[in-house]
Amino acid sequence: MAKTIFVFPGQGAQYVGMGKALSESFAPAKELLQKADDVLGFSLSKVMFDGPEEDLKMTANTQPALFVFSMMVLEILKAEGIPFDLVAGHSLGEYSAICAAGGFSFEDGLKLVRLRGSLMAEAGRTNPGAMAAIIGVDDEKIQALCDEAKDAGVVVPANFNCPGQIVVSGEVDAVNKLVANCASAGIKAVPLAVSGAFHSPLMQSAQPGLADAIAQTAFHDLQKPLIANVTAKEVTSGNEIKDLLVRQLVNPVRWSQSMLYAQKELGVTAGVEVGAGHVLAGLQRKIDRSVKISAVESVEAVQALKGAL
């Protein structure tokens, strides 16, 4: 039987103007955005619509902005009656996925991602780090590159995005050494503009605060399975998900492995990228072209999708 996965993007997909057209054309999306402003106690919608970009790029703003926008798009998918069988989200997107599958309320999810963004930014200031995308190497080679650079400090694989695109994360000197080693070996390495070494041990200082907040949040067992970043396996237990979200801060996002598992083990045949941009749809073309992911962030795109699914 055909199965559809809803996937939710993470940090990097944001842009000034996000959500503006949607809130003007779809009343439930506008209501959700107003609710977000009320919950947060400041105008997130203004930051999303008008920026400036420097404000939107602040991790403590980026994370709630992306979460809210994904939930706005989800409202259209629900209104159009487009069903889904399971969910996954890239890093921050995992919170959107959990909310979509009934794991916690919109309000609670929003508070968690705002706190997560603040804690990660603080960890980035306390333990300055860097990240870089390494192009055209496999998992084994990336581990070897990290091992070769570790005498300069901590550096680990952080995102297994797709075959040939793996992001590393760690201390500045170690990441710089790895990038220099790549240049010497003719391997393409692209330093990323980030505020910290996400998904590495440098984020450990953010874990206690996030764990406390998660412990005080009402989590429910999911109505649809989540393929978790940390394990690349499905999970529905609310208690297990609490633990996975804390671990996710310092562990790699196994996106490529997750999407292959969805197709090979769970029978996924199609996907919808719910939220800003089309990063995950692009990655999917490099992971497995037999499962197409359609990116949607407007009423028109959802209506067009309805005819295609």
Is 278 one of the catalytic residues? no
**Lookup result for tokens 């916690």:** 104
Among residues 96, 199, 200, 294, the one annotated as catalytic is: 199
Query: DSSP strand E in the chain: where?
Result: 3-8, 86-89, 129-135, 155-162, 165-171, 188-192, 226-227, 234-235, 268-274, 292-296
Which residue type, as a one-letter code, is found at position 86? L
Sign of the alpha-carbon torsion through 25, 28, 32, 35:
positive
Give the active site residue among 91, 118, 200, 258: 91
What is the DSSP track for 59-95? HHHHHHHHHHHHHHHHHHHHHTT---SEEEESTTHHH
CB atoms within 10 A of CB 17: 11
CA angle, 90 then 282 then 189, to 5°: 80
Are 56 and 62 spatial neighbours (Cβ–Cβ below 8 Å)? yes
Q: Is 91 known to be catalytic? A: yes
Buried b (16+ CB within 10 A) or exposed e, 264-301: eeeebbbbbbbbbbbbbbbbbeebbeebebbbbbebee
Q: What is the chain's Cα-based Rg? A: 19
Buried b vs exposed e over 245-261: b needs ≥16 C-beta within 10 Å? Answer: bbebbbbbbbbbbbbbb
288: left (phi over 0), alpha (psi -120 to 50) or beta: beta
Residues with catalytic annotation?
91, 199
